[in-house]
Amino acid sequence: MRIALLTDSHDHIPHTQKAVRCAQAMGAEILVHCGDLISPFMLRHLAVFSGPVHLIYGNNAGDLHLITKMCLESFPTITHHGQCGAIETGGRRIAFVHYPQLARGLAAGGEYDVVCCGHTHRFQVETVGRTLLVNCGQLFGIEEEPGFAMLDCATLATERIVVARQVDIQED
């Protein structure tokens, strides 16, 4: 099972669209967004993903009420977890928060196989105890090229995908 890990899209529609299409083309079955989606209009760009989407707030949360309401009423494939989320899939327990400090604490607790975060806009992968800690980087494209992470649940291999380097994949 492969999971696409996105964060800090900051309302950048083209990068988000390209990341979602690329993740799907690369075989991702689940998409996790680790915060700073910001505006409710961005939900429709995540909803084109063919599998389940998991979303949390970041420090730039936008309209909290409308995002939550739209996930519940208009986008059944998107689960909104609030400030912190966790799923079990592919034989792995995966948690996601926006802030690296909180992620490091969750990783140190040893309850999860993988903990994902964002906020710093810098891609980073490290091991804390027996837990893989992944900062997904960012999609906006300020501090580094816009990208996301692909996680293989079987091996815990994590790859950074730079969206600007991907061939455009057209939607049907």
* pLDDT tens digits along 97-128: 999 999 999 999 999 999 999 999 999 999 99
Q: Which CATH class is domain 2-165?
A: alpha beta
**Cα separation of 13 and 43, whole Å?**
10
Q: pTM, whole model, 2 decimals?
A: 0.94
142 confidence band (pLDDT: 50, 70, 90): confident
Contacts of 15 (CB under 8 A, 6+ apart): 9, 139, 140, 141, 146, 163
* pLDDT tens digits along 15-53: 999 999 999 999 999 999 999 999 999 999 999 999 999
Q: What residues does each domain of the chain span?
A: 2-165
Mean pLDDT of 138-143: 90
